[in-house]
Amino acid sequence: MTDRYARSKQLFAEAQMVIPGGVNSPVRAFRGVGGTPIFVASGNGARFTDVDGNSYLDYVLSWGPLLLGHAHPAVLEAIAAQAALGTSFGAPTELETTLAEQVINLMPTVEQVRFVNSGTEATMSALRLARAYTGREKILKFIGCYHGHADMLLVQAGSGVATLGLPDSPGVTAGTAASTLTIEYNDLEATRALFAAEGEQIAAVIVEPIASNMGFVMPEPGFLDGLREITSQYGALLIIDEVMTGFRAAPNGAQGLWGIEPDLTCLGKVIGGGLPVGAYAGRREIMQMVAPAGPMYQAGTLSGNPLAMAAGLAMLSVAFDRSAGVSPFDLAAVLATELADGVRALSEETGIPLQVGQVGTMFGFYFLKEAGTRATSYAEAKVMVDPARYAKFFWSMCERGVYLAPSQFEAAFLSTAHTSEDIATTLQAAREALKEL
């Protein structure tokens, strides 16, 4: 019998000789599902093809950036046109201003934007800015929320750290860790208690509005409002990390859905159109602390590089174009709802307990060990969910041509290229895969 992943296995063996673990980002190693990583050869629309010639409906979409799907013509044209003019100058371009204006137009809480090269740079810089603005040193993050791999943020992180079973990362100094306070996600009472004890020392609270790196955990009613109230009371900044949810949960981000006004917002993924990008943004008076306007230093040779700016502009322009009365984003969000509802129905049909969440073009689900339970934090997820069952489901879906995240602790995404037929195909594959469990 032919091994459908033979070439991927060969390439992974070769990669491990020259790349640590054979991958350049840990979750790609498939530790969360076992087996050998699938190596991708090409992508188009809602699908990609692996090096063995297998085709998949893709619900990872480069972990979120590909809102329009793979190789969208408008994005390719924008990249090609700019590449012909030059790929990087290390000098200002008009594209940076234009994309910043587009972000500000879509997100009313944002008055100024600073582009960087990754989500990690965005969160790291936003927290440095919060410390500079407040004159305080401590920050609060929530256990299981992943905000990139800066030292101070690898304390009780989710995502790949959760997948690999690493509680924290070696190399993070005790001094750095000491300035990072942690509380379980959705625990507003503990947050109030912590601020009562140490509020005058806390520069900022950083939070994923939807905890998308420990599965897909929604904020409990009042949680985000409570964080806004507490930080305002104690003079700390509220930083909403929308690297994942920005332009995915809604055109104006998850903060728009819940009506929250953060002091700073972190962005990435979609605003680069599939190229490396990040941004931190917020109120003018705070952003004016950033050099050269102010004393808080942050710089980057490729920050605001014209290729990423051009791709991001094309992505946002197409996704939120309402000239036809409804935007491509709106249509994709409808399909995401259809998919999530279908998975819930399959859970009832098969008797396999699933916790399903969906907002905008994002969704996710846990395999639960027991029916009637629901994880609202990382501590609960660790004991309630069934990663082994997810691993079996993942490979069953791959065999049926549907690619999900190779970890139960990651969110999934739809693109504007997905169709109703794709959703029907996916749900039929899921029905068959669930019946095999």
Q: State the catalytic residues.
A: 146, 241, 269
Cis peptide before 406 (omega within 30 of 0): no
Does residue 333 contact residue 327 with C-beta atoms inside 8 Å? no
Kindly report the number of other CB atoms within 10 A of residue 227's CB atom.
24
Does residue 402 contact residue 47 with C-beta atoms inside 8 Å? no
DSSP 372: T
Does residue 344 contact residue 353 with C-beta atoms inside 8 Å? no
Q: Locate 35 and state its tokens.
A: 């087996």
Q: Locate 388 and state its tokens.
A: 């082994």
Q: Please name every residue paired with 357 in a beta bridge, in sequence order, or none if there are none.
A: 364
- Name the packing angle between helices 188-198 and 223-234 (round to 10°): 10
Does residue 39 contact residue 29 with C-beta atoms inside 8 Å? no
C-alpha 244/C-alpha 269 separation (Å) is 7
Residue whose structure tokens are 């997100």:
107
- Name the packing angle between helices 306-319 and 328-350 (round to 10°): 70
C-alpha 247/C-alpha 283 separation (Å) is 19
Q: Locate 377 and state its tokens.
A: 């934090």
